[in-house]
Amino acid sequence: MPPKMDSRVFITLESFENSYITIVEWETPLLNRLAHPLVADGDLAYLVPDDQIQLANNIAVVSGLRLAKDDDFRRRCLTQYVNQGTLYAHGNPKRRFILAPLSWTGIERDELSIVTPPVESIPCTIWTVPLSSCCAAYLRIIMQESKNSRVRDIASADLSGIIAYGMFGMTYEGSYMKTPEDDPEEDNDKSVDFLDEAAWKEKDALEMRDVLCKIRGWQFKMKDEWLRDMLIQLVSGNLRYEALPSRETQQGGTTEPETGHA
């Protein structure tokens, strides 16, 4: 169960609603919504349209949120590594509250939709983005960073988790189907149902085909159509994250994946 919301965060969010500020879930809230299990509860991060970000930060300060000090948190979030937005500290134990500019992700307002049903514990309207826009945003962040940057590593890990848990339905809950490789001694145990190798491969192939079909059906803006191709290559295993274009390759005038890594 998520921790109880700090009163200063509640007042901040309530004031956002009263001031008609648009906030878009990002990082921890968004990853949790997409069923990514490897994120910590409690931290809150939101994207805010650039023309509202200054007012949003003013409201946060007036509402009692404290600007985080360098030693409040070890760097973990994307926004901390790239110094995008403003980081606040609140609660005991301390939690992050982050406001970052929407433009950093390349997400545009017409891609947003209101979270339904509303989050009962949050006193304001929360906006979100479809899976296609989320994946495109992470790809843009990865490709605008230097080749060996920590930001690329974090964004790549987040995107691979979004794909695995949001598209392939991986989960830590529910039953687990064993295979003979799990325990050779159980191979003759008639009470254990093993999925034979051919059936397992067929299941994987059908799931892959379904996911690729969904990506091909996603709506992208004309200028982002090339990101669809990148996603298809990543998901199908024909492209490694390390081979995605970087700041260096784009400065050289190309967005083509690097060769030799696929």
pLDDT attached to residue 195: 55
- Give the total residue count for the chain: 262
Q: Is the pLDDT of residue 79 over 60?
A: yes
pLDDT attached to residue 253: 59
Q: What is the mean pLDDT of the chain?
A: 83
Of 56-60, 113-117, 207-211, the range with the highest mean pLDDT is: 56-60
Q: For residue 107, what are the CA distances in angstroms to 25, 59, 135, 240?
A: 12, 23, 11, 24
- Name the more confident of 47 and 94: 47
| Residue 216, number of CB atoms within 10 A of its CB | 10
pLDDT more than 70, % of the chain: 82
pTM for the predicted model, two decimal places = 0.82
Give CA–CA dist 83/89, Å, rounded: 15
Which tens digit of pLDDT belongs to each residue from 136-192? 999 999 999 888 889 999 999 999 989 888 888 654 343 334 444 445 555 555 544
Which tens digit of pLDDT belongs to each residue from 42-66? 789 999 999 999 999 999 999 999 9
Give CA–CA dist 57/143, Å, rounded: 28
Please enumerate in sequence order all residues whose Cβ is within 8 A of that of 21, keeping only pairs 6 or more positions apart, or say none: 48, 52, 55, 56, 59
Of 114-128, 133-147, 246-260, the range with the highest mean pLDDT is: 133-147
